[in-house]
Structure 1
């Protein structure tokens, strides 16, 4: 296929950008800070193992996280960075092997997580037909990001990932604009960073709307049409997506869905899955 063919297969397999906890050393349970809140039942400093982390690096309350007050754990997604750091960067050496390994590994993990999130977005951008003119740049950005994930641990720990993320964000923004502009009969609309906390948007036509970084916490989005809406960084905590149409939504992640409510009638884009708690959350009345 030609290099810029919009139907060309993505460079990265998105299945590799899913968390594989069985091949991770519980890095999210150790490397990250937890703050007692509605999301976490305890305070925990970065570098300190969660008290529920077992010797085999499994969560001791995995099936009870929400009732035990750890809903934030069910929302978090490392985009496959955990197993990459554990099995490739450190070749199977876990953080318990030495204090030096632990300190560096906890620095590397959040860097890898950001790189893998960018791989997720870039891979999706390469599937957008309206962004075909950007496919060469997108592929270059994806290849560069992929190469960075294979750097040695000491280089990853020192990587200026924020600068790389900023450069990539400009390209993703352009890709999203092109795709949103292709919505028939619509002018591009932007609600970037908008305060829509608790907004009543049931049944709203939000096709092609830019909601990048919008605060949609506890918003009523029942039955809303979010096709081709751009959703990078949108905060969907406790938003009700019951009956909403998210097919074709741009740059949506599993973590955003996990933070929201929904039901069996919520339409999701591939390759995202319906969160288990949606069987009891959300509303049946759109």
Structure 2
């Protein structure tokens, strides 16, 4: 949905980055959306977005936010789109082969979940303090990657919840090993409701913010170094002047949903959103 370019993350797999030029616009067709603050119109699953062009590119990419499609700017397929387009279905688009379109649209969200897990596992394997679980992380990564190379039937039959549960346990262990190596007491806000919370300048270094709801929270000037942000909802969170260097499992889509500025500090693997 975004056509956005991401910086090449040091040491991470480039095939886990979205490449809209190699995709058949699957996120713009396969997924539904409802008219809301994030989308200017309703769209059913399997129906092409009215802004999708014949070349599978977005016709309003440069003005998505202005046209009411903010939701598109915060979506990330983690490279699933090109994997399904070029590998699973061998480079034949849903326009060229309508008989397989339905199956392609079903496979896409499954592949996206698998690629998201691969992205987190790849990051965890880069954490020096998580070395005790690197071997297990590698086995999990290799197993999921092998699954992504199978045919559509195998992907649709995959136990994604089971794979997610196993990966989540390993990612938590990697996170704890990394955060526990930091000095001082770390805050635990796992799954907390922090909507609109006033956390300006807060010391959240090494904090557990997994799955925390931080919608519209004031995190300006906060220290979020090595904080675990996997699954945290950062929509409209104020990150101006915050330090996110080394934040664990922070994704580009989370940043795109938040507010920041030139003083927000980011790791090398993440890009400063254009709207900041």
Report the TM-score range of the alignment, normalised by the length of the smaller protein: over 0.9
Classify the secondary structure of the residue corresponding to 1:257: helix
Write the mapping of 1:11-22 to structure 2, written as runs, cut at 5 A. Answer: 13-22=12-21
Task: For 1:250 and 1:212, locate their aligned partners in 2 and report how far apart those are by CA, in whole Å.
Answer: 10
Q: Which runs of 4+ in 1 moved over 3 A?
A: none
Question: Where do 5+ consecutive residues of structure 1 fail to align?
Answer: 1-9, 279-286
Partner of 1:7: none
CA positional deviation for 1:13: 3.8
Task: For 1:188 and 1:142, locate their aligned partners in 2 and report how far apart those are by CA, in whole Å.
Answer: 29
Task: For 1:189 and 1:171, locate their aligned partners in 2 and report how far apart those are by CA, in whole Å.
Answer: 20
Partner of 1:241: 239
Task: For 2:263 and 2:13, locate their aligned partners in 1 and report how far apart those are by CA, in whole Å.
Answer: 25
Question: Where do 5+ consecutive residues of structure 2 fail to align?
Answer: 1-8
Q: Is the 8 A contact 2:219 2:238 kept in 1?
A: yes
Q: Deviations over 1:25-68 (max 9, x none)?
A: 00000010101111011111111110111111111111110010
CA positional deviation for 1:129: 1.5
Q: Is the 8 A contact 2:222 2:243 kept in 1?
A: yes
Note if 1:90 corresponds to 2:93: no
Task: For 2:156 and 2:122, locate their aligned partners in 1 and report how far apart those are by CA, in whole Å.
Answer: 24
Write the mapping of 1:89-238 to structure 2, written as runs, cut at 5 A. Answer: 89-184=88-183, 186-238=184-236
TM-score by length of 2: 0.94
Query: How many residues get paired?
Result: 267
Q: Is the 8 A contact 2:32 2:44 kept in 1?
A: yes
Partner of 1:4: none
Q: Deviations over 1:65-100 (max 9, x none)?
A: 001000000000000110111011111111123333
Write the mapping of 1:249-260 to structure 2, written as runs, cut at 5 A. Answer: 249-260=247-258
CA positional deviation for 1:161: 1.2
Partner of 1:262: 260
CA positional deviation for 1:14: 2.7
Task: For 1:264 and 1:178, locate their aligned partners in 2 and report how far apart those are by CA, in whole Å.
Answer: 31
Comparing 89-98 with 240-249, which one deviates more in the overlay?
Answer: 89-98
Classify the secondary structure of the residue corresponding to 1:88: helix
Write the mapping of 1:76-87 to structure 2, written as runs, cut at 5 A. Answer: 76-87=75-86
Partner of 1:47: 46
Task: For 1:163 and 1:33, locate their aligned partners in 2 and report how far apart those are by CA, in whole Å.
Answer: 25
CA positional deviation for 1:162: 1.6
CA positional deviation for 1:17: 1.2
Task: For 1:259 and 1:90, locate their aligned partners in 2 and report how far apart those are by CA, in whole Å.
Answer: 31
Partner of 2:55: 56
CA positional deviation for 1:114: 0.8
TM-score by length of 1: 0.91
CA positional deviation for 1:234: 0.2
Partner of 1:282: none
Classify the secondary structure of the residue corresponding to 2:102: helix
Comparing 26-35 with 152-161, which one deviates more in the overlay?
Answer: 152-161
